[in-house]
Amino acid sequence: MRSLSLSVIILLSLSSQSEAQLRLPSIISSGMVLQQNDSVNLWGWGNPSEKILVTTSWNGKTDTATVNNRANWKIKVKTPSAGGPYTITLKANNTIVLNDVMIGEVWVCSGQSNMEWSYLNGLKDVKDELPNCYNTNIRFFNIPKTTANHPQDDVKADWKVCDSNSLKSFSAVGYFFGKKINKDLNVPVGLINSSWGGTPAEVWTPEPIFDNDDELRLAAARLQSFRWWPNHDGLCYNAMIDPITKFNIAGTIWYQGESNVGNNDTYYKLFTTMIKSWREAWKKDFPFYYVQIAPYKYGNNNVGALIQEAQTKAMNFPNTGMVVITDLIDDVSILHPSNKHDVGYRLANWALAETYKQKGIAYKNPLYKSKTRNKNKVTLSFDNVPKGFRDNNAIEGFTVFDLKTEQWFPAQAKIEKDKIIVWNDNVPEPAQVRYAFGNTILGNVFSKEGLPLCPFRTDNWDLDQSPAK
């Protein structure tokens, strides 16, 4: 009887070992793009103590890894400069061959609906791309909408070559970003889309952060609950970000903020904390380029302007950059501007100039720097206007605050090279200035390079956030 039990145990052990074959996460698969000139992670699962042989065709070198007592393994392999296709062969009890592997630049595309928006949402600029979009040097990894209460180790997605079918469901902003990177650098580009319309930044931020920060936890509690998207801390991070944090990337592009207008007072802290947490998870201070939300007719006064202001302030955070799109909107009553082409290209220009050090690219929007007052006029100075502003005899979007009446009045403005002089003939003491500062206030000031002046205010007063009439 004892020998029979021992035989059963041995058989069960052998059966378990035969089932626990070498296995890879979805993102490590044929057709993937690996980050060039890097020491990239490959990882997966197998039998504890099993040795895994990893051979890469770009150098013919074989590296080894050993599966630990939790059935996990990870190995780093060095990648060359951009190129491909290559193969990676992994041998253990079984053999896996990864084909059509490209080496290039890998970017994560994340956020809410304006990042998620695709051909399926009726975007004409993507429809126009379909007949000629096939490009084996652009690859998509499109992560489906998923939530989890705890960090996950895999996602259900696969790598696809950019063609008229795969592009239809992929982020338009991400595609146009990747298209320009691919064209200007002449390297393969891998784009990982992890976005979900309607989601606040809290769901993309690890939950433990809120456990240790009373301010952010209380702000998160003020979020509205909606039927069609999650709003609890960490839910999307756990399922759609954490599983890919071992995959080497060049950086991230981000388009989000509309769903945080209700707790705009903590958005700067939340947003920069989220960026920091992602960099810590990837163990890399990668560039993070993002889109300032567009003007929109929100239900409460000034809430969109306050998110824009928080996003502008976030550019003080290391290795970040923001594109302004106040000139790319169709209608302030539409939350999803249809022009995703220029949004993607402006993000790409940030990457080309800052990450890839290409010269001669205009990518930084004019930003308010300081003001001086001389009698009834205010002179405004700006950063990022090396050639000055475009001449404009009918400037719109400026208001001045009258100390005497304590009211805001529309202002006249005059461009003088890289400065703007603002006044109102009926305001003898203009104390503060605002430009395009409000949910739907639009301006028309551009740098000579064609980039719109970022909305701003010179004051820091509390603003009316009551329901709009």
Measured from the Cβ of residue 388, the count of other Cβ atoms closer than 10 Å reads 15
Average pLDDT, integer, range 94-114:
98
Helices (H), 212-320: 214-221, 235-236, 267-282, 303-313
Count of CB atoms situated within 10 Å of the CB of 383: 14
pLDDT value at 19 more than 80: no
pLDDT digits (tens, 9 = 90+) for 163-188: 999 999 999 999 999 999 999 999 99
| CB contact set of 452 (below 8 Å; sequence gap of 6+) | 324, 325, 326, 327, 365, 366, 443, 445, 446
* Dihedral of the alpha carbons of 410, 331, 341, 32, in degrees to the nearest 10: 120
- d(CA 107, CA 105) in angstroms, rounded, equals 7
**Cα 304 to Cα 309: distance, rounded to the nearest angstrom:** 9
Packing angle, helices 303-313 and 267-282, rounded to 10 = 40
pLDDT band at 227 (very low <50, low <70, confident <90, very high): confident
Q: What is the chain's mean pLDDT, rounded?
A: 95
- Name the band, by pLDDT with cuts 50, 70 and 90, for residue 469: confident
- Does residue 14 have a pLDDT over 70? no
Helical packing angle, 267-282 and 214-221, nearest 10°: 110
Which is higher by pLDDT, 396 or 6? 396
Distance CA 192, CA 106 (A): 8
What is the chain's percent helix, strand, coil content, to nearest 5? 30, 30, 45
* Count of other CB atoms within 10 angstroms of residue 248: 19
pLDDT of 175 reads: 98
Single-letter code of the amino acid located at 337: P
Amino acid at 8: V
**Residue 384 Ramachandran class (φ > 0 left, ψ -120 to 50 alpha, else beta):** left
Q: Hey, what amino acid is at 448?
A: K
In whole angstroms, what is the distance from residue 315 CA to residue 111 CA?
Answer: 17
Q: Output 1 or 393, whichever has higher pLDDT.
A: 393
Predicted pLDDT of residue 248: 98
How far apart are the C-alpha atoms of 384 and 366, rounded to whole Å? Answer: 5
Tokens of 325: 């799109």
Alpha helices in 166-299 (DSSP H): 172-185, 207-211, 214-221, 235-236, 267-282
Strand partners, 56: 61, 88
Nearest CA-CA partner of 320 in 264, 377, 273: 273
State the Cα–Cα distance between residues 97 and 88, nearest whole angstrom.
Answer: 6
In the prediction, which pLDDT does 3 show?
A: 46
**Exposed / middle / buried, residue 307 (Cβ in 10 Å: 0-12, 13-18, 19+):** buried
Q: Which two tokens stand for residue 126?
A: 């993507």
Per-residue pLDDT of 268-289, as tens digits, reads 999 999 999 999 999 999 999 9
Residue 335: other Cβ atoms inside 10 A: 17
pLDDT in tens, 116-157: 999 999 999 999 999 999 999 999 999 999 999 999 999 999
With a cut of 60, say whether residue 41 has pLDDT above it: yes
Mean pLDDT computed over 321-331:
96
Q: Read off φ and ψ for residue 348, nearest 5 degrees.
A: -65, -35
Q: How many Cα atoms occupy the beta-carbon half-sphere of 303 within 13 Å?
A: 18
* Domains identified in the chain and CATH numbers: 17-102 (2.60.40.10), 103-355 (3.40.50.1110), 367-457 (no CATH)
Q: What is the pLDDT of residues 343-371, one digit of tens each?
A: 999 999 999 999 999 999 999 999 999 99
- Let me know: does 350 contact 324? Beta carbons within 8 Å: no
CA 242/CA 155 separation, integer angstroms: 10
Among residues 207, 297, 292, the alpha carbon closest in space to that of 255 is found at 292
Q: Give the span between the Cα atoms of 387 and 451, in whole angstroms.
A: 12
CB neighbour list of residue 39: distance below 8 Å, 6 or more residues apart = 76, 77, 78, 79, 248
Residue listed under structure tokens 């691919």: 182
Q: How large is the average pLDDT for residues 49-74?
A: 97
Determine the pLDDT at residue 2.
42
Taking residues 311-327, report their average pLDDT.
Answer: 98
- DSSP conformational letter for 201: G
Task: Please determine, for residue 336, whether its predicted confidence score (pLDDT) is greater than 70.
Answer: yes
Residue 176 — φ and ψ, nearest 5°? -65, -35
